[in-house]
Structure 1
């Protein structure tokens, strides 16, 4: 009990000092608490972070570090530009193979899942067959991509974390897809509509903000994931009423909140963040917060990765 009181007092003083340093037009004060790597402002991980700030009622010394997303969060943590961050398990395992700093990260809490969204043309692709007699225009046919297994050898647009995920999947599946890396969902969707890509792959929690904003007449739909897969992945259904897509099977991967290993005061900060998550989970599920919280049954859900224990590391 005494330890919790000390942590609360320490947090309260830190937050008060940070707030006192803020002035209109002045540069942002240095972060005196935990720097949290999220993603693009206003999107998935950043919205989860905003929910944490709301339920903490500004008693937690947290500062957001906006990045490009889960994959970028791992690099940001590795170079000590953030203290904790939200990352998908597949990227964590893969990136840890070549980076000792990433390999030393510890799971603070299991969160919601990310889903691989396979966006395809609702009207199909018009493909031209071989030329007749070597010179005449070949017959055309319309092909509608409705599932993952139909993308063998196809050009596909990849956004953000999908650039790593799909490449890793392709190595296992042997589909030999042709990758087009792009910077945004909007560009990826346009490449599908133009026929340059047979599908666009985008990774996000459900519901995917960019997809929920698509109009029914956008010309886009979602293909199902029909390939057997193993850990750290699972297959779960999702629905997007605006596109007329119901209970389509999608590839899912667990998100986790991870921390760098600490020996000093930040251990207490991370422990207090973990306690706050436990204390506020029901409010996060019941209140006006992101739907991703409703997926979480327990922050202790099993993940194949070392856990944060809330204790200093033993010096060798």
Structure 2
């Protein structure tokens, strides 16, 4: 009897451990299919992967590799920890300048767009003016950030891929913003609420999961992107009813599914993944899946990057 109890206790302890192993981002040891680099669990890229898995009806072996997001996906692909991954085209172009492995990646499909969310304080920030007569306390004024161009010289919190994008934008704009790199949206939003950052920059497809969970009592809102921009970017409006923000202008950048250049059997597996997406796009657009699929009219939407050769999968 004691032996049965001991075995049961060991099994009970092993079950949570097994789940923890699947949550840590590493692909299962038994994965013999394509390893797909996505992003943090529950965020945009990971949700797109979950949709792919659903419509494939698990007939195609796909394993998710959790990362910090698009920028980290490029590194993950570069060191061969993933076979395919979802990345924004601007990060792909920039990182390829210093990494031959990234430069050799091939675009399998053009996906939805990512949007730069500029999260700022709904109540504004209080600043004390110059001292009166050199000694007396200056007047206090409150100001609110309503648009990107008001962030010149300001401290800003950057999350994930925004750490590269915003730095590149700032070089062009000459705003000389002061960067605070953080690990999560929650940490960035706390910086804004505490007044340590005037805005938090975070990138995701629409709707952004963390922004969608905010309420009008959260003290946070969104600022407009009001700066002229050129390719590979565009400016599009989005809305978040939950915080009372409608038709705010946002910087958009194309996401792409990329692959490492294979010459063996994985070439056929990548081709099969592309064919499955083509076949299931109507279902992804019509069914209960991520809104980002509805942005896609063609997986062949033009991007300035080398394309994966659509080779038919080999028959076993």
The reply on whether 1:291 has 2:298 as its aligned counterpart is: no
Partner of 1:47: 47
Shift of 1:29: 3.8
- Give the whole-Å Cα distance in 1 for the aligned partners of 2:155 and 2:283: 44
1:43 and 1:194 map into 2 onto residues whose CA distance is 25
**Stretches of structure 1 lacking an aligned partner (at least 5 in a row):** 1-22
1:94 is matched with: 94
Structure 1 distance, partners of 2:99, 2:302, is: 24
Query: What RMSD over aligned residues (CA atoms) do the two structures have, in Å?
Result: 1.5
Aligned residues: 290
**Matching residue of 1:270:** 270
Q: Which residue of 1 aligns with 2:229?
A: 229
Q: Give how far 1:133 is off.
A: 2.1
Q: Distance in 2 between matches of 1:276 and 1:37?
A: 18
2:111 is matched with which residue? Answer: 111
Q: Secondary structure at the match of 1:102?
A: helix
* C-alpha distance in 2 between matches for 1:208 and 1:111: 16
2:149 corresponds to which residue?
A: 149
Q: Could you report, residue by residue, the CA deviation over 1:162-186 in whole angstroms, capped at 9, with x for unpaired residues?
A: 0000000000000000001111111
Post-superposition Cα deviations, 1:135-190, rounded to whole Å, max 9, x if no partner, equal 21111111110000000000001111100000000000000000011111111111
Give the structure 2 partner of residue 126 of structure 1.
126
- 1:77-226 aligned at under 5 Å gives the runs 77-226=77-226
> Tell me, what secondary structure is at the counterpart of 1:246?
strand
1:310 shift after superposition: 3.1
Determine if the alignment matches structure 1 residue 259 to structure 2 residue 265: no
Match of 2:303 in 1: 303
Distance, in Å, in 2 between the alignment partners of 1:111 and 1:244 is 28
* Offset of residue 131 of structure 1: 1.4
User: By how many angstroms is 1:311 displaced?
Assistant: 4.8
Alpha-carbon shift at residue 61 of structure 1 (Å)? 1.2
1:53-101 deviation per Cα after TM superposition (whole angstroms, max 9, x unaligned): 0000001111110101000000000000000000000100000000000
Provide the C-alpha distance between the structure 2 equivalents of 1:250 and 1:242, rounded to a whole number of angstroms. Answer: 17
Structure 2 unmatched runs, 5+: 1-13, 22-27
Cα separation, 1, equivalents of 2:133 and 2:97: 53
Normalised to the residue count of structure 1, the TM-score between the two structures is 0.89
SS for the counterpart of 1:210 is helix
- Provide the rounded CA distance (Å) in 1 between the counterparts of 2:294 and 2:190: 32
- What TM-score, normalized by structure 2, do the two folds share? 0.89
